[in-house]
Structure 1
Amino acid sequence: MLAFFPALYPDEMLYSACARYHRRSGNLSIKATMKDLFGSTTASAVVDLPNRLDCLRRQLPAGTLTIVDRLIKENTLLPLYSPFLPRHRVDKMIAWMKGSTHGGGIHMAMGVMASGVPAPRYLRFCPECLAADESRYGEPYWHRSHQAAGALLCHKHEVWLCESDVPTAAPQNKHAFVAAPVPNGKYLPQPYERYFLHYREITRSVAWLLSHPETESPGLFFFRKKYLHHLRQMDLASYSGRVAQRELLEGFVAYYGNCFLEQIHCRIDIDSQCNWLNSIVRKPRKASHPLRHILLIHFLGTGIEEFFCTGIPESRPFGRGPWPCLNSAASHYRQAVVSRFVITRNCETGEPVGHFYCSCGFNYARTGPDRERSDKFRRGKILEVGPVWEAELIRLAEKEKRSLRAIARVLGVDVHTVIRHLAQLADCRQEENFVEDGKSLIERRTRWLALIAKHPQKGRNELRALGPADYCWLYRNDREWLFENLPPVKSRKGSAGCRVDWPGRDRELAARIGPAAHAIRYAPGRPVRVTLSAIGKKLGTLALLQRNIDKLPAARASLEGVIETKAAFGIRRVRAAERELLRRGESLETWRIVREAHLRPGYPASVAVEIERIISCI
């Protein structure tokens, strides 16, 4: 048992404490120090993840250190890796660090070797921390937070770290512990200065993880769900979990820059489907380096503390089930009986669309998310009406003999919906009617032919007015025969082409197109492109413009003067995005403008020029 062992300082590496012991013990041989501390002359001086810690505990004086788990949490770099690893693997790492075997496999099993992110080649120190430690404790020491990959700043003083001449993996003598200070320190290269803000966020995140060793591994699926939640907020993932990988890669590279990602060994090949960013947001199959998790967390607009200390917000754009059935023909109308529910995403707006399936057969869909409690009773599109609704439709139409509008009011649908379903039901019952009511069919055909023979000069509408009951019955049940036995359509001689005043209609439309385009262009909210379709819908003349534009030369000329090209609309969206970002107080960066303007890859060069002009005017 050792006669003494130095007290560990805040944020000190175990390697540093062993180096201070070697200096105070007076041992001339570094292997003698290894024998004192770890009971073996073949043990190695490991900086970040040492092993043989149970042997060290047995060698220490009584009362010096009795809990190895505390030593691992407070004086090694394991707390930096453990939150991003499966719990069973963390337990395995702790067991290996306590034991005397598997020392060479700890880094391999941790995934550090395969990540492509190398550990620092030399021990690093902060000049201001070095001076403060010497003033307070009488000697400097190696800080744990200065030795993490990617952490090139001191989180306390926010100055660049210096590299010593002490290698973290000495090829000549792997048994030596070297104490601080080292006089030959050199500052990191100046090119890092332009990425000061990125390095500061990384350094703060590393410091938080090391100072909160109680942060247990939430599991790889936790990261998947949390990332998907934030990606949905950025419109980079659907509610079903599908990630827009290409847009994510482009936004990520635009946020950090290729040069910065190269510096920290996290380069991304946008054209490759097998890069680390694609893997980290997909279904978890392997662990990733903590530095890469930190980069993604900051890109998603959150901090490391908020990310770990808040739960996974459930994506419930339509609230909790069960949901109400909106079948007004059912006895459970507006009651919460719908439990089957599917969410999809509107491919144009990105908004969630809920599909609700009731046991009565009535299925409907509506667009979310819900903003008020009454929204759950708002019905969008009817997917299927079901047998209950159809039975009520037949009862109202045949037994109560209600009008189409009255039926529509009772069933909560449009008149055209009632007409369509009545026609469908009539078609389905046609064969049955022929069998059950064959005598009526013959009688009605006979009466209709007699009516035509009696009035040979009458047209279709006049015959229908003379025999409305037979015409309606035959139309519903024997339509093909009826059309074969109708008089030919009378031609309107001398009136063709004179029923519509095309010049007058052309002048009227041409005068209305300009104000309609102005209203679309300057409408509040998300910009809408000025197109023929948008103007036609605004004026209620879409079919007229689409089918008869050749007869409307003045209107066509007005349209050509106001319709926006893709490039012009893109520039207007970029300017609207600039105003919105300034209103929210956010910085004007290319990736922010592209995301706010909802631009897709491959937008015109003139739009890119406008973005550069906006940023250059900052």
Structure 2
Amino acid sequence: MSVDLDPPYPDEPLFSVVARYMVDVDVGDKVRFLKNLFGYQQRLSVTLAYGLERVAEETRHVWALSSDELAEQRTLYPYYAALLPMPFRDALLVAMRQKQQKPSPLVVHSTLRFCEGCRAADRASGRPEYWRRSHLLPGVVLCPEHGRWLTEISSNDLHFLTSWPTLQLLPAKDVLPIALDLNAAQLDACQRVTRASVWLLHNHVSTDVGAALAQFKATAWTAGFTFGPHDVDCRRLTRHFIEFYGEPYLYHIGSLPVLGNNNWLAKAVNGRLPPRFTIRAVLVVIFMASLHERDSGLAWPLCPNELACHGPGHIVERRQYHKKAGRFSGKCSCGFRFTYSFTEAGIPQDVRPTVYGHSHAELARSLEDTGATLAHIADVIGASPQVVSRLLKKRSPVRGF
């Protein structure tokens, strides 16, 4: 049996085209029709579709698309494929071609969303109101075209076998407008998720989520979420993550991290984010970009002692904040100690030495041996003549003034 499905509208998912067809021709036995079209008893699938080889054969005379082209153009497969490792990506496509269950590593949602602005545009143009793939993307709560909150209905409230709803005939009582209490910055973060997700859907790219996660810890550490010279303060990072997106949004999309052993964000910091949670990968990458933009001034300091044998870029072993003075103090293994106001890209600013290291004393003695004056030595080292005098007399680190 061949099925004369209508030409799909821009960005229309397969299930929407099928739902419109069943209404237009007044299909009586929907379960039988769907079984004939997909080759098995197909249930409503909002984001993906299975049995596409059968669908391609049944619609070849009107669409002339292969099963893989259907997956690319009429489902959210390109979005998931962009974020999944290659083995999972290939397994998913095989499952969609044939009568198989979706691969267990992938988590897909079952929520229908639409934009009232797009719905009005459909009516104004004289075409049927239809679902759009970009509205169905995980984590997307704003229309990419109009920037307004989407309206949603959970397909859990539908009968998966017989209720393939068209947007045009959707009962008003079944819909729930999304209205999250977010500030302007959090709304901007949601818009970033929308733009990134739509870009992944339409550009057919492949990303390396694992490589991005490998940089998460270093990015968080550089941004000032430090717990010791090498560890990340995951508790403080999690609070900032929640503040960045807004608790209502994260809770709404099922990705609110909880403090404790089950904190998925803390696991992501250490590179452990299961590939099935694609939306969380998007959230982390966008959050990482914001950390790159963030100049907190709290990053763990690098040693400012340019004379030390450890060379540039050495992280000091100890750091402490002195609330009364409003300054940080740092202590390095080279013997150099100092205070500073803040950091820029890890480099301490407004540095005031408190203890000079062995490298300063060695340089002072070598300059003295060449006949350099006390004033010249002080100028080279960057210390007062009194400190230089003490450096020349003692072999241990000398405190500054």
TM-score (norm 2): 0.68
Other-structure match for 2:165: 178
Inter-CA distance 42–87: structure 2 relative to 1 (3 Å threshold): same
The answer to whether the 8 A contact 1:111-1:288 is kept is: yes
Q: Distance in 2 between matches of 1:127 and 1:142?
A: 11
Measure the CA separation in 1 of the matches of 2:372 and 2:223. Answer: 50
Q: Tell me the residue number matched to 2:194.
A: 206
What corresponds to 1:600 in structure 2? none
User: Is 1:225 the counterpart of 2:224 in the alignment?
Assistant: no
- Counterpart residue identity of residue 212, structure 2: F
* Alignment partner, residue 296 of structure 2: none
1:110 Cα shift?
Answer: 0.9
Tell me which of 127, 142, 150 is aligned to 1:161. Answer: 150
Cα gap change, 1:222 to 1:348, in 2 (>3 Å):
same
Query: C-alpha deviations, 1:98-121, integer Å up to 9, x for none?
Result: 2322x2x43x32145xxxxx642x
In 2, Cα distance between the equivalents of 1:2 and 1:352? 76
Which structure shows the bigger proportion of residues in helix conformation? 1
Residue in structure 2 matched with residue 48 of structure 1 by the alignment? 47
Alpha-carbon shift at residue 370 of structure 1 (Å): 8.9
Which one of 225, 228, 243 corresponds to residue 232 of structure 2? Answer: 243
Contact map agreement 1:81 1:289 (CA 8 A) in 2: no
Query: Is the aligned partner of 1:416 residue 2:390?
Result: yes
* Whole-angstrom distance in 2 between the partners of 1:173 and 1:253: 34
Counterparts of 1:381 and 1:234, CA distance in 2: 28
> For residue 110 of structure 1, what is the aligned residue in structure 2?
106
Match 1:343 to one of 307, 315, 322: 315
2-structure distance, mates of 1:194, 1:23: 37
* 8 A contact 1:232–1:239 mirrored in 2: no
Deviations 1:386-436 (A, max 9, x none): 9xx79x979x97xx9x79969978x96944344334x9xxxxxxxxxxxxx
TM-score, scaled to structure 1: 0.47
Secondary structure of the 1:212 match is helix
Post-superposition shift, 1:150?
Answer: 4.2
In 1, the alpha carbon distance for the partners of 2:246 and 2:164 equals 38
2:182–2:246 CA contact under 8 A, matched in 1: no
Larger Rg: 1
CA deviations over 1:109-146 (Å, ceiling 9, x no partner): 2145xxxxx642xx333233223224436212112233
Asked whether the 8 Å contact 1:228–1:237 carries over to 2, the reply is no
Amino acid in structure 2 at the alignment position of 1:6: D
**Pairs aligned (count):** 367
Kindly indicate which of the two structures has a greater share of residues assigned to strand.
2
Give the aligned residue type for 2:320.
E
Q: Match of 1:278? A: 266
Give the fraction of aligned pairs with identical amino acids, expressed as a percent: 19
Q: Give the Å deviation of 1:220.
A: 2.0
* CA distance 1:55–1:341, change in 2 (3 Å): same
| Letter of the structure 2 residue corresponding to residue 129 of structure 1 | C
Q: Provide the rounded CA distance (Å) in 1 between the counterparts of 2:265 and 2:120.
A: 40
**Which sections of structure 1, spanning at least 5 residues, go unmatched?**
113-117, 308-314, 319-324, 328-336, 357-362, 373-379, 424-536, 541-618
Cα gap change, 1:72/1:208 in structure 2, threshold over 3 Å: closer, same or farther?
farther
Contact 2:142 2:194 in 1 (8 A): no
Partner of 2:93: 94
In the other structure, the counterpart of 2:73 is: 74
Structure 1 residues 463-518: Cα deviation after superposition (integer angstroms, max 9, x where no partner):
xxxxxxxxxxxxxxxxxxxxxxxxxxxxxxxxxxxxxxxxxxxxxxxxxxxxxxxx
1:4 corresponds to 2:8: no
When residues 348 and 286 of structure 1 are mapped into structure 2, their CA distance, relative to the original with a 3 A threshold, is same
CA deviations 1:423-457 (Å, max 9, x no partner) are 9xxxxxxxxxxxxxxxxxxxxxxxxxxxxxxxxxx
Say if 2:29 is the partner of 1:34.
no
Aligned-CA RMSD value = 5.0
Amino acid at match of 1:110: L
- Is 1:126 the counterpart of 2:100? The answer is no
| Secondary structure of the structure 1 residue equivalent to 2:198 | helix
- Distance in 2 (CA, whole Å) between partners of 1:282 and 1:29 is 52
Deviations 1:347-369 (A, max 9, x none): 2377999989xxxxxx9999986
